[in-house]
Amino acid sequence: MEDRLSRVFAALADPIRRDMVARLAVADATVNELAEPYAVTVQAVSKHLKVLEDAGLVSRSRQAQRRPVHLEAEVFDLMTKWIERYRREAEQRYQRLDAVLAEMADEQQTQTLEEDAS
């Protein structure tokens, strides 16, 4: 799974990682702060952060022994663009189908009216 988009989607497929992203949207946090609410070891959280970092979703600086984690909002654009593109196509197709069905209904009604008239 080497490509960027795959890494980003995979990173957000985990509930703990999504929750960390949600919390990081509010404020930067250290590894220990992030680990606190979850029923897993701090090492596990450290691994989760590596996944998020490899996906480009977060960056880490250094502050004494602490490694504050910061959310990188730009990466979200990648996903949004991908999603919106295909959703739009699919919706347009759906609307075309609706149009075709409406046209067929119209024709049907015209036929019925002609029958009534005869």
Partner DNA sequence: GGTTTGTTCAACCGAAAGGTTGAGTAAGGA
Partner DNA sequence: TCCTTACTCAACCTTTCGGTTGAACAAACC
Binding residues (CB under 7 A) for DNA: these are: 1, 10, 13-14, 16, 30-33, 39-44, 46-51, 60, 62, 64-68
Residue 76 interacting entry, from DNA, a second copy, none, C-beta within 5 to 8 Å by type? a second copy
Which amino acid is present at 80?
T
> What are the Cα distances from residue 76, in Å, to 1, 19, 59, 93, 104?
18, 15, 14, 26, 42
- Nearer to DNA by Cβ, of 60 and 104: the residue is 60
Q: How far is CA 76 from the centre of its chain?
A: 8
Asked whether position 24 contacts a second copy by CB under 8 A, the answer is yes
Question: What's the closest the beta carbon of residue 17 comes to DNA, in angstroms?
Answer: 7
Give CA angle at 59 (65, 13), nearest 5°.
Answer: 115
- Nearer to a second copy by Cβ, of 87 and 112: the residue is 87
